[in-house]
Amino acid sequence: MTDLATKRIVLTGGAGFLGRAVARVLEARGVPAERLFVPRKRDFDLTDEVAVKRLYESAKPDIVIHLAAEVGGIGANMAQPGRFFYANMAMGMHLVEQARRWGVEKFVHTGTVCAYPKHCPVPFREDAIWDGYPEETNAPYGVAKKAIFVMLDGYLRQYGLQSAVVVPVNLYGPGDNFDPRSSHVVPALIRKCEEARAQNAAEVVCWGTGAATREFLFVDDAAEGVVRAAEVLEEPAPVNLGGGTEISIRELARKIAKACDFGGRIVWDESRPDGQPRRALDITQARRLLGWQPVQNFDGGLAATVRWWREHGRDASDPGSPPIRG
């Protein structure tokens, strides 16, 4: 097992939603602040090869944990498919190649549930990830992220670069991105319901039919899974990180409306896409290889997320599309 407390670590996306949680877990593992390097976009544009070279020269990492992504919900994916493919492909490609050149001990890559085929049998198992094309609205993002799986496999076989790949399901929790232009479904619905309640609105409008299902993982649980992968994995076989409960978007909207004390109608705009019909992950491999499973139940995590938005959200919400975050 890798003792992370003795290593110099680059944490891309470390200032983002998942990244901040991973930094907290690393601190709890004894990683001193001076050994943890969080590159910021204003200093290191990770889509630029020269900037990535400069990052490795500055940080001199032993371990790279790559969380940074240009990412968003269905609307953001539909609006910027080219950018999402290019940015995520470029970041992964430059970071892995420079890790090989620098002699990094281990590269940890965070994939996405969007990489799975559109009609994948549920629960998704890792060996099905190449069995079909992803759901169209997020395919450019999903394909770019899983192309790095192949790169890491090739680099292990040719260059001996050790690596790990985790595939988290949809994340949520305090500190999430609540920008309506780029947020995922949980923060988007919380903001809609909270603003509707404050304005005494009669209804909120949600995309699609509500029939699609999703699974959600609390951000602190995801962070623990990422760090466990950094500690114990050495090969880039994908490992799912899931929350354990599949829920329809219609039921999710009801839960969020209740958590936000919004008593109005929920109206479904069926002209908008549902996205992938179902999502839920098999986490057998995570239990076996990482000794990991989620701790936070969804209702408790949802309540904590609503509280955070009420206390901090308006001040912390920083519009900008698309965000680069973990």
Q: CB neighbours of 172 closer than 8 A, spacing ≥ 6?
A: 184, 186, 187, 216, 217, 218, 219, 301, 302, 305
Helices assigned H by DSSP within the chain? 17-28, 49-59, 74-79, 81-102, 139-159, 185-198, 219-232, 249-259, 284-285, 298-308, 314-316
Q: Is 53 exposed, middle or buried (0-12, 13-18, 19+ CB in 10 A)?
A: middle
Choose, from 141, 155, 159, 172, the residue flagged as catalytic: 141
**Token match 């994948």: residue?**
120
**Token match 């200032």: residue?**
15
Other Cβ atoms within 10 Å of 179 Cβ, number: 20
Q: Residue 256 in contact with residue 189, Cβ under 8 Å?
A: yes
Handedness of CA 207, 76, 89, 170 (dihedral sign): negative
Q: CB neighbours of 30 closer than 8 A, spacing ≥ 6?
A: 4, 5
User: Which pairing describes strands 69-70 and 324-325: parallel, antiparallel, or unpaired?
Assistant: antiparallel
**CA dihedral of residues 112, 292, 189, 276 (deg, nearest 10):** 40
Tokens, residue 213:
């299902």
Q: CB neighbours of 236 closer than 8 A, spacing ≥ 6?
A: 109, 149, 152, 153, 156, 163, 164, 165
Nearest-CA neighbor of 166 among 218, 224, 111? 111
Distance CA 245, CA 258 (A): 19
Q: What's at 249, amino acid-wise?
A: I
| 159 is known as an active-site residue | no
Annotated catalytic sites, by residue? 141
